[in-house]
Structure 1
Amino acid sequence: MQEQPKGTTSTEVHEEWKERAPYQIHTRHEHFPVRYEASCHCGKVTYQLKRDRPLDSKLCHCTTCQTQHAAPFQWAAIFHKEDINFTNGHHDLEWYDPSEKTTKHKLPCKVRCKWCHSPIMDEGRNMILLFPSLIHFKSKEDRLKFEPRCHMFYGQRVMDIPDGKPKWAGLNNDSEQILEDKPINEKEQYSQG
């Protein structure tokens, strides 16, 4: 439980996240060079990105991502928290902590629109993982800057992706690399889930 600083109300402590990156809203007078714009499915949550390309971009095959995104894997691009500027709807967000299965804003957590439930990002302690499928790319060249560089948790995959990219059993560069021609071992896959 978060300790309440002296002289503040519980509402102020609860609302304090609005003033910190990645949720703070930059004013027109602040220097925030807009490189990309994005939105959730219903358009109530909109944001901008200032970095030309992500720090990294990956496809994650972990069972949590499969369940949370209702898909065989998720496409995630890593950014600094200061690289995002919400232009609308940052008060229309909700959180989910998959480790404790609660809706508290406890890091790391998943962030989504409270109206259409589109996943917006995963917020970590220092970074955010955004979902490039929400970005309104203006050119093929821009989209290619977000090209996934590897597969993570490929040992938990539900389908093979023969794309020539490095495939890691767990975290990239921190686990065994899986050869692309090694088929899914169904017994091993379902025992991990």
Structure 2
Amino acid sequence: MADADLPLPCPAFTNTVHEDTLSDEDYKHRPPYVMKNEAEFGAKWRGKCVCGKVTYLLKQEKPLNAKYCHCHGCQALHGAPFQWAAIFHKEDMSFIKGSSGLVFYSSTHRSQTYNLPTKVTCEDCHTPLMDEGRNACLVFPESIEVEGSDEEQRRKKEPLKPTCHIFYGSRMLDIPDGLPKWKGMENASERLDDQGNPIST
């Protein structure tokens, strides 16, 4: 069977615990969907979609982790060679605008019904906003707003810098950045060098 005929894998970052709460829409009453007062929330970061309809806040400066993912699912769903995601607890994220204008897509269920894990986008401009798992949200740092020159923006986003590459065995190009590279999931697969060769231990 050709690679093109294989089904896309689930995005690598999201956990695989499935949950369907569409019937009672309980998700609207829990983080990150429940709206918070911006002043009381104490935000360190503000992110938004391209059209500006949806805005969210993050109250932790540093994520739990940040990674580049090269899995086929992320490549297809993001239309890019790899995905950059920063992982935060759900309680550390809050939508302050546009939470009613979100679209969900579960690649596991191939459905727009709210199921975990799910991808969340703006219904108007379709900007990817996050991948939601059971306990954490993976946000995409390019949607986080920072001001200044390109160099100033890179410096300000330093706390969101990735710690490794995962699913590097599926990469579209070599990334010689000195970060650890894993064939599959971090700490659960073979380590690779920048050219994708196994690193002997």
TM-superposition CA deviations, 1:70-129 (whole Å, max 9, x none): 000010000000111111000100110101211011101111111100000000011110
Unaligned runs of 5+ in 2: 1-18
Which residue pairs with 1:175 in the alignment?
Answer: 189
Structure 1 residue 24 corresponds to structure 2 residue 34: yes
What secondary structure sits across from 1:91 in the alignment? helix
Higher relative contact order (CA 8 A, sep 6+): 2
Structure 1 residue 65 corresponds to structure 2 residue 74: yes
Counterpart AA for 2:194: E
Percent identical pairs in the alignment equals: 45
Which residue pairs with 1:166 in the alignment?
Answer: 180
2:118 to 109, 114, 132: 109
Shift of 1:28: 5.4
Structure 1 residue 87 corresponds to structure 2 residue 101: no
Which residue pairs with 2:15 in the alignment?
Answer: none
Q: How many residues align?
A: 174
Instruction: Normalising by structure 1, report the TM-score.
Output: 0.84
Unaligned runs of 5+ in 1: 5-9, 184-193
Which residue pairs with 1:118 in the alignment?
Answer: 127
What secondary structure sits across from 2:129 in the alignment? strand
Distance 2:46 2:174 in 1: 32
RMSD of aligned Cα (Å): 1.9
Decide whether the 8 Å contact of 2:20 with 2:114 is kept in 1.
Answer: no
Shift of 1:181: 3.3
**Matched ranges for 1:33-44 at <5 A:** 33-44=42-53
Shift of 1:26: 0.9
Shift of 1:27: 2.9
Shift of 1:182: 3.5
Structure 1 residue 53 corresponds to structure 2 residue 62: yes
What secondary structure sits across from 1:99 in the alignment? coil
